Amino acid sequence: MRMYDIIRKKRDGNALSREEIEFFVQGYTAGDIPDYQASALMMAIYFQGMDERETLDLTLAMAHSGKMLDLSAIHGIKVDKHSTGGVGDKTSLALTPMVAACGIPVAKMSGRGLGHTGGTIDKLESFPGFTTGLSLERFVNNVNEVGIAIMGQTADLAPADKKLYALRDVTATVDDRSLIASSIMSKKLAAGADAIVLDVKCGSGAFMKKEEDAIALAKEMVQIGRNAGRKTIAVVSDMDQPLGLQVGNALEVEEAITTLSGQGPKDFQELCLTLGSCMLVAGGKARDLEDARRQLNRVISDGSAKRKLAQFVEAQGGDPAAVYDVGLLPKASIRRPVPSPCDGYVSRIDCEEVGMASLILGGGRQTKDSAIDLSVGLTLCAKVGSFVHAGEPLAYLHANDESKAREATERFLASYHFSKEAVTPGRLIRYMDFPSGIY
């Protein structure tokens, strides 16, 4: 088999066989196929597309390019959850203790922040001592004993995707739906869960800006999951404005804790209940979505979800005191309001820019290796549809550096748009792919 023939076949619009896809993935991972030929193939796929069978074959070949995690030592049906990433998306922090308190074993691999979006691992490091560098043995034991364990993505998990993603990033071939779907699903399949719940974000703070693209991506990932024999559910949710009110690492941990106490912002609480219900049904712990919702509300009101978070933090070396006293979380030295420049209804928020404001404050990484400041970020006071008077705070800024605070304020203010007319915010849940056969 020759790479040249594979590139030409795809260039001319033909479907690649499984053997050809495996030849490419194995050869590229091993370093036998050079970047320029892999780039040419990615571009050919970008223009010619892949059918369902090719997309599945690419996903499986990438999943099998490294270790397939064996979670069979964990008791019960393992349900994973994945978000395509957004601003203020602290869902895993509240959702995992909620579902674990309902009896779903959570064995999760999470990432760090990427660009303007935050990452679960960075946020969890707001608890002093917390580590995600667990051996597989400790990871499995913690899930069996505590109900949750979260570890960082290991280098040997879908290495073909790691290499290809880096290549796509610099060859303008990231934003192809089948390539995104196979990239995400290869990691999810390799991570070993029995069922997968996907939260596909759409809007100005998401990878997919348009609802129809997000829905198409959700459907494609669900199809891959099912074809690979995993129960897969997808929800498409709004990211046209930040989720909840807090943006920034420790601030998001605080909001997750508040939500576990039953006092979180409505949109965030609703998303946790929606995704959590899917997880409980997929994991066989609830009869239907209504039953699941009842169970989730119960573990919030009786405090068991919050206790589960504390147990999980402690089991991974962290100090859980902040779960019961959020005043102990890292705090910025400067906290000041960002006043509204005018009277009016908030008509639109450029969500990615809010994420950038937090990044400028130090809450995200400017380069791959830069350290982040856990304490900084923004607390929003007005979201789409809110009426504000000139001079009233749109948000509170949390900063540790005057010049960064000034730059972030400018960026944040530019992200808000106003209207004289009343505005209705978009729906939080845009679409749900929940097959009846999953019950």
Q: Give the catalytic positions in this structure.
A: 82, 161, 168, 183, 187
In order of 104, 159, 230, 235, 274, the CA distances from 434 in angstroms are 19, 30, 13, 8, 11
The encoded tokens of residue 402 equal 């005057």
Which one of 146, 180, 322, 349 is in contact with ligand URA (CB under 6 A)?
A: 180
Which one of 23, 28, 130, 165 is in contact with ligand URA (CB under 6 A)?
A: 165
Q: Which of residues 98 and 179 has its CB atom nearest to ligand URA in the complex?
A: 179
Q: Of the ranges 32-40, 124-132, 180-188, 258-266, which one interacts with ligand URA (CB under 6 A)?
A: 180-188
3-state SS class at 22: helix
In the chain, the largest separation of any two C-alpha atoms, in whole Å, equals: 68
Q: How many residues does the chain have?
A: 439
The encoded tokens of residue 26 equal 């194995």
Find the shortest distance in angstroms from Cβ 199 to ligand URA. 13
Please say whether the dihedral angle defined by the alpha carbons of residues 91, 263, 374 and 242, taken in this order, is positive or negative. Answer: positive
Over the window 31 to 50, marking each residue x when it contacts ligand URA by CB under 6 A and - when it does not, the resulting string is --------------------
CA–CA distance, 433 with 439 (Å, rounded to integer): 13
Helix (H), strand (E) counts: the chain: 17, 13
Q: Of the ranges 30-38, 178-186, 242-250, 364-372, which one interacts with ligand URA (CB under 6 A)?
A: 178-186
| Residue 345 in the binding site for ligand URA (CB under 6 A) | no
3-state SS class at 170: coil
Over the window 201 to 220, marking each residue x when it contacts ligand URA by CB under 6 A and - when it does not, the resulting string is ------x-------------
Please say whether the dihedral angle defined by the alpha carbons of residues 73, 74, 75 and 81, taken in this order, is positive or negative. Answer: negative
What residues does 398 pair with on adjacent strands?
A: 335, 377
Q: Which of residues 179 and 405 has its CB atom nearest to ligand URA in the complex?
A: 179
Find the shortest distance in angstroms from Cβ 174 to ligand URA. 6
CA–CA distance, 426 with 409 (Å, rounded to integer): 25
Which one of 92, 178, 183, 375 is in contact with ligand URA (CB under 6 A)?
A: 183
Find the shortest distance in angstroms from Cβ 363 to ligand URA. 20
3-state SS class at 400: coil
Which one of 98, 149, 184, 299 is in contact with ligand URA (CB under 6 A)?
A: 184
The encoded tokens of residue 143 equal 């899930």
Q: Which of residues 23 and 165 has its CB atom nearest to ligand URA in the complex?
A: 165
Over the window 291 to 320, marking each residue x when it contacts ligand URA by CB under 6 A and - when it does not, the resulting string is ------------------------------
Q: Of the ranges 62-70, 174-182, 368-376, 400-408, which one interacts with ligand URA (CB under 6 A)?
A: 174-182
The encoded tokens of residue 94 equal 């509240």
Find the shortest distance in angstroms from Cβ 207 to ligand URA. 6
CA–CA distance, 329 with 331 (Å, rounded to integer): 6
Residues within the interface to ligand URA (CB under 6 A): 165, 174, 179-180, 183-184, 207
